[in-house]
Structures are given as C-alpha cells and as structure tokens.
Amino acid sequence: MEKYGYRFSFGPWNIHSGADPFGPPVRAERSFADKLGQYRGLGFDAVQFHDDDAVPGLDELTPLQIRRRARKVKRQIDDAGLLAEFVAPRLWESPRTVDGAYTANDPEARRYAIERTKRAADIAHELGTDLMVLWLAREGTYMRESKDPVRATGQLLEAVNTILDYAPAIRIAIEPKPNEPMDLAYIPTMGHALALGSQSSDPKRMGVLMESAHSVLAGLDPSDEIGFAMSFGKLWSVHLNDQNGLKFDQDRSFGAVDLRRAFNQVKVLDENRFYDVGMVGLDVKAIRTQPFERDAEHLTNSLRVFLRLLELSRSLDRAAVQSLIDARDYEQLDWLIISHLLGG
Ligand code: GLO
Ligand code: MG
C-alpha cells in the first residue's frame, strides 16, 4: 500500500467490545497482544497508548514497577515492528476523579492526578516517545456553580507546568473537546488549548491534537481547527474520525458522514506537509452492530479514505481552482470540487 510518507496510528481502545452507556459488551474483548498483532496487517505503523493500556493497574504499582512493565511493552511493540506515538494519562476512570482531575475541588484528587500524570510521563519515556496527549475529559462542570473558571484555568496551567518541569524531554499535546463526559469542558477548542500552552512555563513544548468529532461538537470546522494550529506549528497529532451533527461523540470512520469535510482535512494537512510533523491517528470505533470477526474494518476503511482523499487532493487542478477564485465564481468552484470528489 502506497502511503506517501504518512505514518498511521490508533489506540488499543479503537478495537473494542461495543459496550455503550446503554448496553454491555457485544463482542469479546481482544487481548493487547492480539490487537498488537493486527496493526501491521491493517496498514498501521504506531500505537497510541493510555498509560494503563501499557501498564494495567498502575495505581497499585510503584514507580519502579511501572517502569519495568513499560519496558516489557516496549519490547512487545519493537517485536511487532511498531512505534509508540504518544502516552495519555487516563484521568477519567478512577473514582477519585469523578469531579475532575487537575481541576477537582478535592485537593487529594488533584494530587492523585498529578502523580498519575508523572507516571504516564515515565511510561512515555520507557516506550521511546516524547509525546504526551492530554484529553482533559473531566476538567469542566456538570454544575456551573460548582467550580470557579478562573481558578480552574490556573489549576490547569499549574498542572502542565508541573509536568513540563518533571519531564524535561516531554512535549504535551492537548486534545480539546467541548463536552462529554462533562456538560461544559474548560478547554473546548484549539484556541483554548493554544492559549493555555502559550501561558505555560515552556510554550515550545506545548501543542495540540485535533480530533474531527470534537471540532464538530464545538460547532467548528475540523479543517479550520487544523489550519489554525498548523499556522503556529502546533499541530502535533490528529484524531481523524467523523461525527453526525451535535449529539454524543460517535467516533465514526473517517469520511463516513461528510466526505467533503474529510477531504478538506486531508487537503489542509497535506498542503502544510503534516507528514513531516506527525502521524495520522484514527480515533474511530466500530459501531455496536459489528460482528467480532470483523471488528477492525472501521480502521481499514478510515485509512483507505484518507489515502483516496490524499490522491484527490494532490490531483486537484489547482490552476483551475485559482482562476475560479480570481473570477470570484465560487459556485463553479463548488461544482469543480464536487465533480472532483465524484470522480470527474
Ligand atoms: C474521547 C477522546 C479519547 C482520547 C483518548 C486519548 O472523546 O477522543 O478517545 O482521544 O483517550 O487521550
Ligand atoms: Mg480522541
């Protein structure tokens, strides 16, 4: 498969048992080793990790034990011919972080969140990656009056500064999302994430990860969110997927809902040479109806869509586009793009 210099990644959670908030698993859970064995065959190069994807049960382990176990995982990914793209601390599942992690009102919860993030940085180090992703899942409110937004923003800043200080080799990419699980999240968009990074103690090491579904949930266009971050050299990873309007986070296959929107994401990434900067992560989930034996097709489909759209972006008649822009004939430009997407 020609991949044009792009490298592709996904996380172990992207092959999953189909459980949702309204029903239990409908497919057997595959082991980590089983998933790892599938990456190459599916056309992927790298693994995105939660800290506990790499070291399950890390809350019960000492820092030394965590490092040792992470080292074993490094050997597993090496043997599978894979890289680790990033490690993300999973701060939203512990009973301790029900009210937030870095912005929890309980100081004990905040301490736990920081310690856990330090362990995630240790794991990243052992897995050979310098990238940490922060999806700030529960940093926000269910109840408006329960937290102070000024204080919460200060706490987020303090948290990233603590990590930057603890792990001098680590770069942090914030993955903004406007809601779910919270009603209202504190870092809902690219702009918020970049602003926070710019106020940190080491702005050079603060960037972003853009997820298509999250941008759509914020009422924004994913390609503009990509472009905004890329204009500052701050887009370090992506979670491409798709989303049918303003509802629960669907993590549909890339391009499954809106091919033109997907095309524009690929176009802006490629025009700005994203392949030199980062990997293309596909944060997609198989729908609940999918049978166990075919539980990775959403990943192959998403990758194929990316590559097909890449070819379409590169074969777009840019001179024709420019002359329509010059003539301000955007209706004809509309047709040019649509007919190109329809195969000419
Ligand atoms: C959920 C997020 C989630 C993160 C992952 C990495 O909406 O997209 O899947 O990307 O936990 O931090
Ligand atoms: Mg994501």
Q: Rounded mean pLDDT of 335-340?
A: 98
For the CA atoms of 277, 282, 283, 288, what is the dihedral angle to 10 degrees?
180
Does the pLDDT at position 283 exceed 90?
yes
Pocket of ligand 1 (CB under 6 A): 50, 88, 133, 135, 175, 177, 211, 239, 249, 283
173-188 per-position pLDDT tens digit: 999 999 999 999 999 9
Cα–Cα distance for residue pair 171/237, rounded to 1 Å:
12
User: Mean pLDDT of all residues in the chain?
Assistant: 98
| 190, 232 Cβ separation under 8 angstroms | no
74-109 per-position pLDDT tens digit: 999 999 999 999 999 999 999 999 999 999 999 999
To which H or E segment does residue 240 belong? strand 235-240
110-169 per-position pLDDT tens digit: 999 999 999 999 999 999 999 999 999 999 999 999 999 999 999 999 999 999 999 999
Cα–Cα distance for residue pair 238/131, rounded to 1 Å:
13
Residue whose CB lies within 8 A of the most ligand 1 atoms, among 239, 240, 248, 282, for a mutation test: 239
Cα–Cα distance for residue pair 301/9, rounded to 1 Å:
14
Question: What number does the ligand 1 atom closest to the CA of 48 have?
Answer: 6
For residue 140, how far is its CA from the centre of ligand 2 (angstroms)? Answer: 17
Question: What number does the ligand 1 atom closest to the CA of 135 have?
Answer: 12
Confidence label for 344 from pLDDT (cuts 50, 70 and 90): confident
Confidence label for 275 from pLDDT (cuts 50, 70 and 90): very high
205-221 per-position pLDDT tens digit: 999 999 999 999 999 99
For residue 211, how far is its CA from the centre of ligand 1 (angstroms)? Answer: 9
Question: One of 50, 192, 214, 239 is an active-site residue; which one?
Answer: 50
Does the pLDDT at position 334 exceed 90?
yes
Cα–Cα distance for residue pair 175/89, rounded to 1 Å:
12
For residue 188, how far is its CA from the centre of ligand 1 (angstroms)? Answer: 13
For residue 131, how far is its CA from the centre of ligand 2 (angstroms)? Answer: 15
SS3 state at 52: helix
Identify whether 214 is a catalytic site residue: no
Does the pLDDT at position 203 exceed 90?
yes
Peptide bond into 181 cis (omega under 30): yes
pLDDT for res 154: 98
Six-digit token string for 160: 């990233």
pLDDT for res 12: 98
For residue 177, how far is its CA from the centre of ligand 1 (angstroms)? Answer: 9
Does the pLDDT at position 18 exceed 90?
yes
Confidence label for 1 from pLDDT (cuts 50, 70 and 90): confident
Cα–Cα distance for residue pair 219/240, rounded to 1 Å:
16
The residue whose two tokens read 């970049």 is 194
pLDDT for res 130: 98
Alpha helices (runs of H) in the chain, residue ranges in sequence order: 32-42, 51-54, 63-79, 107-127, 149-166, 190-198, 212-217, 222-231, 259-271, 297-314, 318-326, 330-341
Q: Which residue has the higher pLDDT, 43 or 1?
A: 43
Quick one: residue 108, left, alpha or beta (phi over 0 = left, psi -120 to 50 = alpha)?
alpha
- Quick one: which ligand is closest to 86's CA? 1
Question: One of 52, 53, 122, 283 is an active-site residue; which one?
Answer: 53
Instruction: Report the 10 Å Cβ neighbour count for 129.
Output: 22
pLDDT for res 43: 97
Residue whose CB lies within 8 A of the most ligand 1 atoms, among 16, 131, 283, for a mutation test: 283
CATH number of 8-341: 3.20.20.150
Identify whether 202 is a catalytic site residue: no
